[in-house]
Amino acid sequence: MPNPFKPTAGKMPPILIGRENVVTDFAEGLENGAGAPSRLMLVSGQRGYGKTVLLVELARVALSYGWEVVRQTASPGMCERIVGALESHRPHVSEASIEPSIDIDGVAGAKLGHVSLEKTAALTVRDAIERRLKHLDDGKGILFTIDEAQAASTDEMVALATALQEVIGDEDLRDVPDERKHGVAFVFAGLPSVVDDIVNERVLTFLRRAVHHGLSDIPLPDVRNAYQSTVAESGLAIGSEDAMEAARASAGYPYMIQLVGYYMWQSAQRRRSHAIERCDVEQATADAAMVFLDAVCAPAYLGLTGAQQAFLRAMAPDWPQPSAVTEVARRSGKSVAWAAAYRKSLIDANVIDAPARGFVAYAIPHFGEYMERVTSADDGPRRMATR
């Protein structure tokens, strides 16, 4: 029997527990027509919180409503790829650039991305969208999903945001009922602090109106119920107590939920058992933790600044207990004001939380174990993280 749990990044799992409200909000936005707030959406969360999986699900919803979907991961050339996707039935896109164009009210010095085509004149992102919308049935539209938004250049985000704003305005000018107007929806996802920086850019004022969904941990009873139903639907069985033990091992962290589920299923299959038992959960907990350290903890740590890393290392001697912020400052040889500043930045990044006034604790599952390895390693975290 195939394993129903999918811990691979971006692979649609059979369970989207704790994310139903986002999916429902988006679907209602498509149903409610032009101007619905949730057609412009920001999804933020730390690595492993299921942002990519959620974008895939929203794309599936849009397709079920008869919309077209353009999916991109932010990186240089994003606007070129978007125009290429919209114009896939037209001449080949040979190159793209971001060049000055018209000034738009409220978007100072806006730039519109355009591409050079082998057989046609320059085409702006806005033109490409509107050209494609003309081929759609009344009331249908295009969903754009942008993953890893923190990697997008400001120029390209301005080009896309400005184009979408203009397309929406042009549709409003059409003398047809709202239900017949074409629509555009824009959902972008990224890390919390970096996405905040993008939205707060002066030239991206339009995106401040996006409905914001910050992804968080899943309540453990919901995880237990999802484990039981998913396992049963896939041909095995798991008792309530064992399912709750697996939920505790996952800590409600979406990626860990899939990892624990995957490995406990594999353990039962190797035993040729029709039931997942406590031994399988225990084996899965150990296997999942090893994968999680390298897949989530290491990138989360290595993606931080040196000062943030120093703050986290100073917390390690207290783990698994919380650390006093004053003690973190003392161990780091810094002031309390320094510690307070980096405490806030790490909380904003969802790496630590504040369980009590004046105290901090690691917020990512198994991060304490990773930090113990970091602080005890002789050759440093970078080499260790690749082992």
> According to the model, what pLDDT value does residue 122 have?
39
Q: How far apart, in whole angstroms, are the C-alpha atoms of residue 113 and residue 95?
A: 11
Q: Are residues 183 and 242 in the same domain?
A: no
Q: Is the dihedral of CA 286, 366, 371, 303 positive or negative?
A: positive
Q: How far apart, in whole angstroms, are the C-alpha atoms of residue 76 and residue 287?
A: 36
Q: Is the dihedral of CA 146, 8, 217, 315 positive or negative?
A: negative
Q: Are residues 94 and 122 in the same domain?
A: yes
> According to the model, what pLDDT value does residue 190 have?
87
Please report whether residue 104 resides in a domain.
Answer: yes
Give the domain CATH number at 311.
Answer: 1.10.10.10
> According to the model, what pLDDT value does residue 152 have?
82
Q: Are residues 24 and 164 in the same domain?
A: yes
Q: How far apart, in whole angstroms, are the C-alpha atoms of residue 283 and residue 335?
A: 44
Q: How far apart, in whole angstroms, are the C-alpha atoms of residue 78 and residue 329?
A: 42
> According to the model, what pLDDT value does residue 194 have?
67
Give the domain CATH number at 262.
Answer: 1.10.8
Q: Are residues 208 and 348 in the same domain?
A: no
Q: Are residues 243 and 209 in the same domain?
A: no
Question: CA of 110: how far to CAs of 159, 244, 278, 321, in Å?
Answer: 7, 53, 59, 50
Question: CA of 331: how far to CAs of 32, 111, 320, 334, 374, in Å?
Answer: 55, 48, 17, 8, 16
**Digitized pLDDT (tens) for each residue of the chain, 387 residues in all:** 788 887 765 555 556 777 888 999 999 999 888 778 899 999 988 777 888 889 989 999 999 999 999 999 888 888 888 888 888 755 444 444 444 333 333 333 334 444 443 333 335 888 889 989 989 998 899 999 999 888 888 888 888 888 888 888 888 788 777 778 899 999 989 887 666 666 667 657 777 788 989 888 889 999 999 999 999 988 899 999 999 999 999 989 888 999 999 999 999 999 999 999 999 999 999 999 999 998 889 988 998 999 999 999 999 999 999 999 999 999 999 999 999 999 999 987 778 999 999 999 998 888 999 999 998 874 454 444 433
Give the domain CATH number at 158.
Answer: 3.40.50.300
The residue segments making up the domain with residue 80 are 20-214
Q: Are residues 238 and 347 in the same domain?
A: no
Please report whether residue 1 resides in a domain.
Answer: no
* DSSP string over 84-137: HHHTTTSSPEEEEEEEE---BTTBTT-EEEEEEESSS--EEHHHHHHHHHTTSP
Domain boundary among 275, 299, 323: 299
Please report whether residue 94 resides in a domain.
Answer: yes
Q: Are residues 107 and 63 in the same domain?
A: yes
| Number of domains the chain contains | 3
Q: Are residues 162 and 310 in the same domain?
A: no
> According to the model, what pLDDT value does residue 155 have?
82
Please report whether residue 353 resides in a domain.
Answer: yes
Q: Are residues 357 and 241 in the same domain?
A: no
Of 141, 147, 195, 191, the closest CA to residue 164 belongs to 141
The answer to whether 192 and 226 are in contact (CB under 8 A) is no
| Strand duo 323-324 + 359-362: pairing | antiparallel
Q: Are residues 79 and 127 in the same domain?
A: yes
Q: Are residues 236 and 321 in the same domain?
A: no
Of 109, 153, 104, the closest CA to residue 126 belongs to 104
